[in-house]
A and B are shown apart, each in its own frame.
Chain A
Amino acid sequence: EDKVVQSPLSLVVHEGDTVTLNCSYEVTNFRSLLWYKQEKKAPTFLFMLTSSGIEKKSGRLSSILDKKELFSILNITATQTGDSAVYLCAVAHSGGSNYKLTFGKGTLLTVNP
């Protein structure tokens, strides 16, 4: 069974802290791993990772993928209250003619002032 596991499920930090969110996966025919930020309804795309060891960076956010150990991390440095959200990890994979995303349960990040 395809699965994506995120940890921790929730995290409370103070502004300025650095956080690391984890995502491990077991899927058939891996294509890519994606990170999203969800504040209200729609997940907002952050990163797509396809190759091991290559860090993707956008401002204070960065992410890296390890395809050998089947996991990814999302780092947020100098956190701000606006970073408070659910962070979702999803893995794109395919089997035959089917392509789909399998999502983890998410990490609820709360950044306190």
Chain B
Amino acid sequence: SAVISQKPSRDICQRGTSLTIQCQVDSQVTMMFWYRQQPGQSLTLIATANQGSEATYESGFVIDKFPISRPNLTFSTLTVSNMSPEDSSIYLCSVDRSAGAFFGQGTRLTVV
């Protein structure tokens, strides 16, 4: 398995502001993944973060809205920019191991 520390656990933010979510892994990984889970929905991949290169975004997600940093092989951040109520979701980071894919504790974001 993997130990993944994600913070904040939850936040309530004003529309128009930005929130940065952090994810720390207990060992080095090549790729880190960021997911969004909107209320009542399943998980959707936002982007894949590789160390030393720009993140790869999935269709419907853009760097200006969800900038990602990957300064080293154990850490990544996802920023949700210029938030609106539609961004209210659970955001999750994930890493892949040979035994499976594992998730951080998640960040529950509410935009008011």
**Count of residues in A whose CB is under 8 Å from the partner chain:** 21
B43 touches A88 (CB 8 A): yes
Q: Are A100 and B103 also in contact (CB < 8 A) when A41-B92, A42-B92 are?
A: no
Among A32, A40, A100, A104: residue with most chain B CB under 10 A? A100
B90 at the interface (CB under 8 A from A): yes
Quote the shortest CB–CB distance from B55 to chain A (angstroms). 12
Main SS of chain B's interface residues?
A: strand
Main SS of chain A's interface residues?
A: strand
- Measured between beta carbons, the chain A residues less than 8 angstroms from B99 are 48
Among A43, A101, A106: residue with most chain B CB under 10 A? A43
B 73-112 contacts with A by CB, 8 A: 90, 92, 94, 96, 99-108
Quote the shortest CB–CB distance from B75 to chain A (angstroms). 18
Q: Are A43 and B43 also in contact (CB < 8 A) when A48-B99, A90-B101 are?
A: yes
B92 touches A45 (CB 8 A): no
Q: B-facing mask of A5-48, CB < 8 A → 1, else 0?
A: 00000000000000000000000000010100000111101011
B41 at the interface (CB under 8 A from A): yes
A41 touches B43 (CB 8 A): no
A99 touches B31 (CB 8 A): yes
Q: Are A101 and B33 also in contact (CB < 8 A) when A41-B105, A42-B106, A90-B101 are?
A: yes
A45 touches B101 (CB 8 A): yes
B 42-70 contacts with A by CB, 8 A: 42-45, 48, 56, 58
